[in-house]
Amino acid sequence: MPLSRKATAVIAAVAGIVFATVLLKSGFGQPANPSPPPASVPAPVPASNAPPTVPLEPSQLDAIKIGAVGTYTFPIERTAVGSIDYDEDLSVQVFSVYQGKIINAYANLGDDVKKGQPLYTIESPDLMNAESALIAAVSANILFSNELVRATDLYGTNGVAKRELEQATSDANTAEGAYKAAHDAVRVFGKTEDEINQIETSRKIDPALVVPSPVSGRITARCAQPGLLVQPGNLPAPYTVSDLSTVWLLVNVTESDVPMFHVGQPVAAKVMAFPGRVFDGKILRLGTTVDPTVHRLTVICNIADPKGELHPGMIANFTIAVEDPIVSVAIPTTGVDRNSDGTYEVWVTTDRHIFTQRQVKIGLESDGQYQVLDGLKTGELVVTSGAVFLSNILYAPPSD
């Protein structure tokens, strides 16, 4: 018997409730065995104090050099800039000892001369007077000598009185003394015995007074010209002769360094004309007055120059050891990179592949070596050449 519509609706509603209850109990729509979410792991954060490192490929190692840190002996020195000058103790202004007019000048500027070599001659009135007196004395000596001989002969035959013989003897002795004095007076002018004998024999005056060089050296100044009137001591001197086997180095040192310098200390000089050459010398004397404007003291050094290579006016670098040298940890200057803030960095390695940057404290510098006051120990492996290469790699911008 067919069911009514009302009964059918009731049956459908009951069936829907039963189906829904079954679904809820079975857990339909819920995740089976849910697991807790994984714990979050923080990302590694690089240490901010770790020194930077740079790895190099084998092909890049050719750009650097690696070596062990060693020691070096650093001299304690002071340097200054000076100039070369003539040694005034060996530089002579050649004056004539008598007034006169220059007849001939034999030496030129730059000539090397020997001691006693004639430099110039003058026509000296004083020399002419001395030679005239010599010629007169020669004649008088001959005359009175002959008179003495004749008086002696006649006295033996009672031809003259004893008084006349004594007078002749006195006159001859006086004439001989006058001759010797006149002879010596001419020799004072520099005339040789042969020249004096020639004057006496010829009875002719030689007005040329020869002025020789008093020392061996080089002509460093010449004012002598034929016809120039010269007088003893009147500047400028006709010639100046300097012994250039040694020269002076004049340097001005700072006032604070003055106590470090002493007479006799060895010095080393270098000039631009001879790069790499060192000219040895020593301190000759210290100035007595400090320049109040620049507060520097002049130090005079003797520099040996046997070949005459140093010329006055040359600029020279002056180096002097003021204390005993010290031995310290050292690294070549090519292994150090200087930062813009004035600090210094080196690159240290243990495996010759990875290089670590390290800051060091630098002291003295000598012959391509830096004194390391702090930051390195002997035996450590460091980059000895090519530090800038590694720094460029570290700070180079990333390539696209």
Q: Do residues 235 and 111 share a domain?
A: yes
Residue 28 maps to a domain: no
CATH of the domain at 370: 2.40.420.20
Q: Do residues 308 and 340 share a domain?
A: no
Most confident of 6-20, 204-218, 356-370: 356-370
Q: Is 339 exposed, middle or buried (0-12, 13-18, 19+ CB in 10 A)?
A: exposed
Closest CA to 120 of 111, 130, 128: 111
Answer with the one of 174, 207, 240 that is the final residue of a domain. 240
Confidence band (pLDDT; 50, 70, 90) for 45? very low
Residue 400, CB half-sphere, CA atoms under 13 Å: how many? 0
CATH of the domain at 319: 2.40.30.170
pTM (two decimals): 0.58
Q: Do residues 230 and 308 share a domain?
A: no
> How does DSSP classify residue 223?
-
Residue 355 maps to a domain: yes
Strand 239-242 to 53-55 pairing: unpaired
Q: How many domains does the chain have?
A: 3
Give the contacts of 172 (CB within 8 A, at least 6 positions apart). Answer: 141, 144, 145, 147, 148
For residue range 259-296, what is the model confidence (pLDDT) as tens digits? 889 999 999 999 999 988 999 999 999 998 999 999 99
Q: Do residues 64 and 111 share a domain?
A: no
For residue range 48-83, what is the model confidence (pLDDT) as tens digits? 578 889 999 888 899 999 999 999 999 888 888 999
Q: What percent of the chain has pLDDT over 90?
A: 37
